[in-house]
Amino acid sequence: MAISRIILGVTGGIAAYKTPALVRRLKDRGVEVQVVLTRSAREFVTETTLQAVSGLPVRDNLWDKETEAAMGHIELARWADLVLIAPATAEIMSRLASGSAPDLLTTLCLATEARIAIAPAMNHVMWVKDAVQENRRRLEERGVHILGPDDGDQACGETGPGRMVSPDDIVASLLGPAAAHPVLSGKSILITAGPTYEAIDPVRYITNRSSGKMGYALAAACQEAGADVLLVSGPVSISPPVGVKVLPVQSAADMHAAVHAHLDGADIFVGAAAVSDYRVADISRDKIKKSGDDLSIALAQNADILASVAALSDGPFTVGFAAETTHLREHALAKLEKKKADMIVANLVGKDLGFDTDDNAVDVYWKGGEQSFSKRDKAMLARDLTTLIVERHLEHSHTAMTAELPATMVRD
């Protein structure tokens, strides 16, 4: 059975500092990760970090009424396809072997029917002790999957068996090796993200509520899939994904210019930015002073970046976004047609979805097809959208290629 939901139990060893990286690797492979900390694990790694990387509140307490009400520990034990304990101390091995369940993690291990895997990590003298080895054997006999430990330098300055297996190796043993040829390898992708600032005067501007999270998540997902990604980004307060080049811009006009200056060779263009449709027609050189009860500012329409890219004769595959408050389908299909984009990703804004939130639900439209994605966190959604973009892009390139061939050479 494919593993898509893992409970990651973190116990109190120095190797716990590697668990945020482990969570990232698992998430990169599309796995949902619920972290469960033991009390001593908190001495080595913070709940804040693990919550940020996993995208789920960390669980640590069997007696917390609020978290138990949201998903009780029995339900959580059934939710998982696998319980992974990394690092696993001598103490947790002993508890698992004896079947004692004084806290949430050990209770989950008893209550689950899912497979259990542990990655032991401890001082090498502890690891070879009879008591620990006896527990290891008992666990193995009961079907617990033991990963490692590795042999080598230890945090205590000594050398020997007891190092936790690396996050990459843990993921490879549980899920198999990552695909050797990422689907977007060799592809170049240009993504716009964030809002634009349209200056009124030297101190004021018009903007919108975009946080940039969706565009940044897409950049991360495309990069994970092997693409060379350039983000043309309006002003945001989030950090770009590691390895993604960012070109910061302010206004819609700046964004338009930056996009067209870097479009050469791009295979895919994703317009995830919430571009201001209008700019101030006449930006005041000096700060506008308060005078009178009303103030009117004339606006002029900005060029449509997405439409201008879609209009290029040998341009990239184009993906646009449509954030709407009503009539999602109608507006999205109208945009697909008007802007001549290859795909439109549409979402309702308001009701805790869309702008400035961590979750999003979208409907995607293209000529002759559509697909809905229910509410999920933006990182997960970005991976799902990337898969669909790759599929549609391949289909589109195939159609374009066969259209150019003489009819006798085209086969089904």
Q: Where are the beta strands (DSSP E) in 124-242?
A: 145-146, 150-153, 159-163, 188-193, 198-201, 204-206, 228-233
DSSP 342-388: SEEEEEE-BTTBSTT-SEEEEEEEETTEEEEEEEEEHHHHHHHHHHH
Query: Residues 211, 243, 373, 22: is their CA dihedral positive or negative?
Result: negative
Cβ distance to ligand C5P smaller for residue 217 or 322: 322
For the annotated catalytic residues, the residue numbers are 156
Q: Write down the least CB distance from residue 302 to ligand C5P, Å.
A: 4
Contact footprint for ligand C5P (CB under 6 A): 192, 252, 271, 273, 275, 277, 302, 304-306, 320-322, 335
Task: Name the minimum Å distance from CB 243 to ligand C5P.
Answer: 23
For β-strands 278-280 and 299-301, DSSP reports them as antiparallel
d(C-alpha 216, C-alpha 357), whole Å: 13
Minimum separation from the CB atom of position 277 to ligand C5P (A): 6
CB of residue 1 vs ligand C5P: minimum separation in angstroms? 38
CB closer to ligand C5P, 103 vs 342 = 342
**Residue 51 phi, psi (nearest 5):** -65, -40
What is the full DSSP assignment across 138-171? HHHHTTPEE--PEEEE-TTS-EEEEEPPPHHHHH
CB of 182 to ligand C5P, least distance (A): 25
Q: Is the CB of 34 or the CB of 302 nearer to ligand C5P?
A: 302
Torsion of CA 319, 325, 327, 330, to 10 degrees: -20
CA dihedral 297, 300, 305, 309 (to 10 degrees): 180
Nearer to ligand C5P by C-beta: 12 or 212? 212
92 versus 328: smaller Cβ distance to ligand C5P = 328
